[in-house]
Structure 1
């Protein structure tokens, strides 16, 4: 363990033993002969006493020496020990969120019982919802994105520098051949497009990188847009001098938080290189200048880049807050198996605040009125490669409305599976100022909920189950009203 954590654990144990004995620091000082300030520093994890001092504490507190120096904590402090021994505070770059590790340690040492209760609660919730370490890392990155409005200027500038260094024309669509030449000529890569095909267990992987020989193994069946994105990420890892990285795409598992963060940085860089900021800003300004919305205008933007619809939507979450000051927005990605009634929300991002459409882990039924689900259902019935939809979603319970754009495509790696990506922009004064078609009567408008179980919409023709959570709440309120009336009646 880190030496700082060993000090902290000793200090926590000493403080717990002292308080169990109902001793103040002054009282323990008189008892042990050690100064009050020295004992205070021990308890805060700033100092670790020498063996003779530990022996004195052991004798006067009537606790065996071995128990005093043991790293084993009792059940009240065990959750803190788990956090410290897992090195979680080391793995997560707290400085990204403006937090110093020493501050966290001070919080833990100053209120160990309260922090323990909090950590125990988090661990219990995590267990109940199968919340893995990877999930925690991904949630941390998502919070980091949201805290920065999902815009990272140093990566935007790095893209401009790369384009200048390697003479990449950012005004034209980018294709894999141009990036492959950079990887081979500048970074000594070898590209192999045949090896992965012979390993059926790797069917879901698009690429594997072998660092020792700088060999990039590519799945044979990926299209040029996917290949371009993989190449752009590899350029990011090299140009940004990232060594702590993932070697497969899609990822199998994360070893530490740096890999998760660097994977995000590389993906952001790749999106910014393939979908340059200046071009997308111009495209969106043109779209927003129109008084009415036409599907073909937005589909033209999607087709203007050698990128998947998901990459376009993700890039919009970078651009809209920065260049249009549209910060109240969300991004969702759903997956769906054909002939299944289940829709899985496996990626989400909320800027400014947690908007109404969000993931739940209690097997509730997402609102079938969402355009995110409609486009998947439409795609299942058609032979199209891409299904696009748009609607204004009104949430009556919250008095909020969002313009939601959504695209559905087949999952190229899972048979008879589909996925949709959506971006929702809250309709407010800023939206009305920036978007010419904001008040267009041609936009379909729908009353929506979050899940059927929590929805108050009456006579919904696509409802999957009864609103049991709402009904339960109403029942409780009715009981409370009756009890209140009885109390008033018999209080006179």
Structure 2
């Protein structure tokens, strides 16, 4: 058990004993011949006293010395002890949210038995849905991105300064430039052949080997523009000094929030390097100023910056909210043998978007992200150009409307898997002033819901399941109504 956890447990027991003795902090400090500030530091787990001070405090509290210093909590507090010992608590980015973990522990110690019961419930829910620490870390990162509108000016400035220093201001940025900088300026060895020779590693896009001479293995089966992003992201790790990181892409292990955060920062840097903010704003303005929808400006951006649809639309999520003053959401789905999986989500629109954990239900196939995957699966032959489409969607119950723009294409390393990526803009009075084609009557319009299992739309041609959840809710409502009717008949 770490020293930090021992300090927290001691502080929690000290505070609980003081409250049980009906002593205020000031009264207890005076009797124990300590300063109130020192007692506060101990109760928050920031200080651990010397034995002579513990003896004095134990006497004031009417406790045995061994009872006060024991790291064992009573059985009712077992889950509180588990929480204190959890890697999640140690690695959770409280400081990013301007929180002090010791203050959180202080809240729990006001009613430790109830806090332990609450943590037990949360623990059981997490186990039921097979939630790991990495799910919490990634959820924390998404929350952090969303409260900052996914815009981080300090990384933008770092990328701009880096591009100016190494003269990366012509587009598209050439892969040879990035490779040369990584090798000559940061001492890397870049290997673009070895991954394909290892059967167990051939599904990775890249692997980083931390040896005296850092080595970056890049999968040769990727498109050049994908390899270019991997190099740009690696320059982000190097230029920003991000040492705690994932060694594989996609990551196999998530050990801390810092790892997740650094991966995000390096990717942000890479995107900003390949698609700088000011040129992107100009190109997005051209797209938005169309009075009728056309995909041509969008496809032109793919060619101009030589990036994938995923890179482009994710860059949209970073640039548009801050530059244009409108919120958006970002969704990426994969179609694996007819099963749709949510891969990435950012929800700055505060809409009821699909969630990736827990629900074994069918996402609504009327979403643009789903419709693109359906259309992609129906096509045959090689796909030389990604599918692109636009849609205006309206939630059946809330009536919220949003404008979606999206792409779909097969994955390079697993061509049988379709991938769709979408950005969506909620309709507000400001939206029509920014996106001029939003009222184009030629844009496909549809009513959507959450999942097939919850949807009351009877005539849906793409429904994948009967509305079992909805039927269950309706049955419950009828039963409640029957109970209410019996209650009325029994009233005098």
TM-score, normalised to structure 2, is: 0.90
Separation of aligned partners in 2, 1:37 and 1:106: 19
Q: How does 1:212-361 map to 2 (within 5 A)?
A: 212-327=212-327, 329-337=328-336, 340-361=337-358
Question: What's the secondary structure of 1:364's corresponding residue?
Answer: coil
What is the match of residue 201 of structure 1? 200
What is the match of residue 414 of structure 1? 414
Question: What's the secondary structure of 1:429's corresponding residue?
Answer: coil
Q: Number of paired residues?
A: 485
Separation of aligned partners in 1, 2:452 and 2:428: 26
- CA offsets 1:401-459 (integer angstroms, 9 cap, x no match): 11112211112222511111111111111111111111111001011111011112122
Could you tell me how far 1:81 is from its partner in structure 2?
2.1
Separation of aligned partners in 1, 2:343 and 2:47: 45
Q: Structure 1 residues 454, 235: closer, same or farther in 2, change over 3 A? A: same
Separation of aligned partners in 1, 2:460 and 2:486: 36
Separation of aligned partners in 2, 1:429 and 1:463: 33
Question: What's the secondary structure of 2:75's corresponding residue?
Answer: coil
Question: What's the secondary structure of 1:202's corresponding residue?
Answer: coil
1:459 aligned onto 2:459: yes
Could you tell me how far 1:181 is from its partner in structure 2?
1.3
Separation of aligned partners in 1, 2:190 and 2:357: 41
Question: What's the secondary structure of 1:423's corresponding residue?
Answer: strand
Separation of aligned partners in 2, 1:58 and 1:291: 77
Separation of aligned partners in 2, 1:47 and 1:276: 47
CA contact (8 A) 1:79 1:120 kept: yes
Separation of aligned partners in 1, 2:77 and 2:317: 42
What is the match of residue 84 of structure 1? 84
Q: Structure 1 residues 408, 207: closer, same or farther in 2, change over 3 A? A: same
Separation of aligned partners in 2, 1:128 and 1:354: 26
What is the match of residue 475 of structure 1? 475
CA contact (8 A) 1:452 1:467 kept: yes
Range with greater deviation from structure 2 (89-98 or 236-245): 89-98
CA contact (8 A) 1:245 1:263 kept: yes
Separation of aligned partners in 2, 1:349 and 1:6: 37
Question: What's the secondary structure of 1:203's corresponding residue?
Answer: coil
Separation of aligned partners in 2, 1:60 and 1:279: 69
- CA offsets 1:299-328 (integer angstroms, 9 cap, x no match): 23333321111111111101120111111x
Q: Structure 1 residues 482, 45: closer, same or farther in 2, change over 3 A? A: same
Q: Structure 1 residues 441, 194: closer, same or farther in 2, change over 3 A? A: same
Could you tell me how far 1:481 is from its partner in structure 2?
2.5
Could you tell me how far 1:260 is from its partner in structure 2?
1.0
Range with greater deviation from structure 2 (37-46 or 145-154): 37-46
2:375 to 371, 378, 386: 378
Separation of aligned partners in 1, 2:72 and 2:372: 54
Separation of aligned partners in 1, 2:352 and 2:314: 17
1:433 aligned onto 2:438: no
Could you tell me how far 1:67 is from its partner in structure 2?
4.8
Q: How does 1:104-123 map to 2 (within 5 A)?
A: 104-123=104-123
Could you tell me how far 1:80 is from its partner in structure 2?
2.6
Could you tell me how far 1:175 is from its partner in structure 2?
2.4
Separation of aligned partners in 2, 1:69 and 1:103: 21
- CA offsets 1:27-50 (integer angstroms, 9 cap, x no match): 9x89xx746987964555455454
Separation of aligned partners in 2, 1:46 and 1:343: 47
Separation of aligned partners in 1, 2:59 and 2:278: 72
- CA offsets 1:317-376 (integer angstroms, 9 cap, x no match): 01120111111x211111112xx3311112111015243344352201111112211211
- CA offsets 1:253-300 (integer angstroms, 9 cap, x no match): 123221111110000010111112122211111111111102334223
Structure 1 unaligned blocks of 5 or more: none
Could you tell me how far 1:53 is from its partner in structure 2?
5.7
Separation of aligned partners in 1, 2:43 and 2:76: 16
1:364 aligned onto 2:361: yes
Range with greater deviation from structure 2 (431-440 or 152-161): 431-440
Separation of aligned partners in 2, 1:37 and 1:475: 62
Question: What's the secondary structure of 2:284's corresponding residue?
Answer: helix
What is the match of residue 130 of structure 2? 130
What is the match of residue 151 of structure 1? 151
Question: What's the secondary structure of 1:409's corresponding residue?
Answer: strand
**Cα RMSD between the aligned structures?**
2.8
CA contact (8 A) 1:134 1:254 kept: yes
Structure 2 unaligned blocks of 5 or more: none
Question: What's the secondary structure of 1:373's corresponding residue?
Answer: helix
Separation of aligned partners in 2, 1:57 and 1:184: 61
CA contact (8 A) 1:43 1:109 kept: no
Separation of aligned partners in 2, 1:289 and 1:201: 48
Separation of aligned partners in 1, 2:350 and 2:432: 20
Could you tell me how far 1:102 is from its partner in structure 2?
4.0
Could you tell me how far 1:227 is from its partner in structure 2?
1.1
Q: Structure 1 residues 372, 218: closer, same or farther in 2, change over 3 A? A: same
